Amino acid sequence: MMLPHTADAAPHLGNSTADAAPRLGSSTAADAVPTALGASPHGASGSASSELGRVRPPRHLADLGEGDRAAWLADLGHRPFRARQLSHHYFANLTTDPAAMTDLPAALRAELAATVFPPLLRVAEERRTDRGATVKWLWRIAGGAGVESVLMGYPERVTLCVSCQAGCGMACPFCATGGLGLIRGLSAAEILEQVRLAQVVARRGELGIGPARVTNVVFMGMGEPMVNYQCVIASVRAIAAPPPAGFGLSARNITVSTCGIVPGMDRLAGEGLPVRLALSLHAPDDALRDELVPINRRYPVADVLDAARRYYSATGRRVSIEYAWIRDINDQEWRADLLAAELRRRGAGWVHVNPIGLNPVPGSKWTASRPHVEDRFAARLRASGIPTTIRETRGADIDGACGQLAAAESRDHG
C-alpha cells in the first residue's frame, strides 16, 4: 500500500539522478548494482504492462527458508552446509561477491555465487536529498519494470520503505503507482534485495549520520502487500530472523500497510508476527472512500476498521490509521469528528492516527490541504482523545511521491 508521502514511507526527493548509482557499487564487483539496463522493453501500461509482468525473476537463495536452502544446495550437488555459509555472506556480510567468500573453495565460489545470487535489481535511477539523509532508488527488475525504494536516515533510526509489487491494481486515483496498473508481484528475494542494498549504503555511512544500519522496514512503497501475501510474509520472516537466516531486524520495527484487504488483515493477525499494521483509510465514510480507495466497495469502512481492531486484539500491536489530507476532499472537520467517533466506538488504546500531507501527482486534480486546515483536523482528533501524529515529510521542495519515478519513466518510454 503506497502512501503519498510520509517521513517513513515515500518522501519527496530531488536533485540529480545519475551521479549516485556508482556509489552502490564502489566496494566489490558483485555488490555493484549494474546500472546498464537490459534489453527489456520499458513502459508500463496496456500490453506493455502485461509484457513486463510476464517475466519471472530467477530463483535466489533469499527466496527460500533455511531448510529449503540446504535442500537446494544438495540438489545442486553441493554439501548442504554451504547453504549456511552462503546465507551468512548474504544476510550478515551483505555481500554476493564471490571474492569475499574465502571460506568456500576457490574453485566453487564464482559458480556458486552466480547460481544462488543471480542479480535481481539494477539501478535505473538514484536520487538523494535532505543533505544525503534520504535516498530514493528506481530499480529495474526482471522483465524491465521499475520499482522504487526509499531510505531515510534519522539520528535515532534508519527507515527503509520497500515496494512489494511493480505497479498496483488497486487503482487509487490520487496515487502515481495506481496509475500504472499491476505489472507483477515481486519475489521475496526481490523485496529482500531492496533491504540488503539499502543496508550496504547505511553501513557505509552514506546517509550523513556515520555508519548505520537499517532499523525499520515499512511496506509502503509500490503495491498492496496483501495481494502479494506469501512473498511479503516470506520476506518479513527473513528480515526479522537473526543471521544467518535473515537480517536480524526486530519484527516490531516492520510495518505492513494495506488499503484494507480484510482477509489479508485477518491472515496477518494469525501469523504470530508482532509487526505493525498500517491501514490506509483516507476517509471515514463509504461515499468518499469508495472513490479514493476503490477496493472500499468490496471492503467498506466498517469492515476494515473491525478487522483493524481484531488485529490489535490478536497481536497487542496498536494499529496505525494513515490519512492523506487532500484539499477540500477529505480534510473537513466533520470528517475528523466522524473518524474519531468510528475509532472510539471500537474501544480505546488500540489505534493512533497518522495524517500526512498529500504529495500531489503532477497533472492530478488532487492536491495538498492548507496547513491551517490540517491543524484543525488534527486538533479535532486529539480533542476526541485519539492519539494523532502528523508525519514529518522530507524534501517537500521537490518531486517524488512513491510511484512517481516509475510513472514518469513509463510516460517517457511507454
- Asked if 340 and 386 count as a contact pair (C-beta separation under 8 A), the reply is yes
Per CB under 6 A, the segment of 44-52, 171-179, 342-350, 387-395 that binds ligand SF4 is 171-179
369 dihedral zone (left: phi>0; alpha: psi -120 to 50; beta): beta
State in angstroms the smallest separation of the CB of 301 from ligand SF4.
16
Residue 405 found at the interface with ligand SF4 (CB under 6 A):
no
Tell me, residue by residue from 244 to 263, as one string, x for binding to ligand SF4 by CB under 6 A and - for no binding.
---------------x----
Q: Which stretch binds ligand SF4 (CB under 6 A): 70-78, 174-182, 208-216, 298-306?
A: 174-182
Q: Which of residues 20-59 bind ligand SF4 (CB under 6 A)?
A: none
Contact between 2 and ligand SF4 per CB under 6 A:
yes
Q: Can you tell me the distance from the alpha carbon of 120 to that of 101, in angstroms, rounded to the nearest whole number?
A: 20
Angle CA 289–165–322, to nearest 5: 35
From the CB of 333, what's the least distance to ligand SF4, in Å? Answer: 24
Instruction: Select from 145-153, 169-177, 232-240, 389-397 the region that touches ligand SF4 (CB under 6 A).
Output: 169-177
Helical residues (DSSP H) of 118-246, grouped into ranges: 188-203, 229-240
Shortest Å, Cβ 223 to ligand SF4: 6
In the bound state with ligand SF4, the residue whose beta carbon lies nearer, of 33 and 401, is 401
**Least CB distance from residue 386 to ligand SF4, whole Å?**
22
Residue 1 contacts ligand SF4 per CB under 6 A: yes
- Those residues with Cβ within 8 angstroms of residue 158's Cβ, 6 or more apart along the chain or in another chain: 151, 152, 202, 207, 209, 212, 213, 214, 215, 216
| Of the residues 178, 185, 357, 400, which one makes contact with ligand SF4 according to CB under 6 A | 178
Q: Is 164 considered catalytic here?
A: no
Name beta bridge partners: 166.
Answer: 184
Roughly how many angstroms between the first and final C-alpha of the chain, as a whole number?
A: 24
Q: Is 361 in the site for ligand SF4 (CB under 6 A)?
A: no
In this complex, which beta carbon is closest to ligand SF4, that of residue 337 or of residue 399? 399
Contacts 24+ apart (CB under 8 A), 32-41: 33/119, 33/121, 33/122, 33/123, 33/197, 34/119, 34/122, 34/123, 35/122, 35/123, 35/124, 36/122, 37/122, 37/124, 37/140, 37/144, 38/122, 38/140, 38/144, 40/140, 40/142, 40/143, 40/144, 41/144
Query: What span, in angstroms and rounded, lies between the C-alpha atoms of 230 and 173?
Result: 26
125 touches ligand SF4 by CB under 6 A:
no
Is residue 402 annotated as part of the catalytic site, yes or no? yes
Counting contacts by CB under 6 A, is residue 170 touching ligand SF4? Answer: yes
Mark the segment that binds ligand SF4 (CB under 6 A) among 221-229, 242-250, 344-352, 393-401.
221-229
**Residue type present at position 286:** D
Catalytic site residues?
A: 148, 402
- Which residues are at the interface with ligand SF4 (CB under 6 A)? 1-2, 168, 170-172, 175, 177-178, 222-224, 259
